[in-house]
């Protein structure tokens, strides 16, 4: 079951969000060999989306979500949905999902 986490993105600015995966003992979850992907969409059924860049660590359990200024500049002042999926072998797990709120920029 995915953890619900809402994100705030500033339009026209770099966005970075770190996720640390831990096991049931509280230790860093080893994600060596895993891949991940994430998308942001206007609604769950939207066919268009923006990709959230995902960097997967290794034994430290770190996953970094990011979007550069070119991507965030194209997001309008609105609310979106997103999720983050983790892949290993033939298994896909949705580990995080929620609402993305975009704060509009003033200075361009």
Q: How many residues comprise the chain?
A: 108
For residue 107, name the pLDDT band (cuts at 50, 70, 90): confident
Q: Which helix (H) or strand (E) holds 56?
A: strand 50-56
Query: Which domains, ranges and CATH numbers included, belong to the chain?
Result: 3-103 (2.60.40.10)
Can you tell me which residue has the tokens 């892949």? 87
- Which among 52, 83, 72 has a CA at the least distance from the CA of 9? 72
Cβ–Cβ < 8 Å for 102, 7: no
What predicted TM-score, i.e. pTM, was given to this entire model? Answer: 0.92
Q: Express each pLDDT in 63-88 by its tens digit.
A: 999 999 999 999 999 999 999 999 99
Q: Express each pLDDT in 26-59 by its tens digit.
A: 999 999 999 999 999 999 999 999 999 999 998 9
């Amino acid at each position: 079951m995915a953890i619900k986490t809402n994100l705030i993105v500033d339009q026209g600015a770099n966005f970075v969000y770190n996720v640390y995966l831990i096991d049931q003992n509280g230790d860093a979850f080893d994600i060596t060999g895993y891949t991940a992907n994430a998308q942001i969409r206007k609604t769950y059924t939207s066919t268009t989306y923006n990709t959230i860049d995902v960097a997967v660590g290794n034994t430290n359990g770190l996953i970094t979500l990011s979007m550069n200024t070119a991507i965030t500049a194209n997001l309008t002042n609105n609310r979106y949905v997103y999720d983050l999926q983790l892949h290993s072998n033939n298994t896909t797990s949705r580990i995080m999902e929620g609402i993305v709120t975009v704060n509009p920029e003033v200075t361009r």
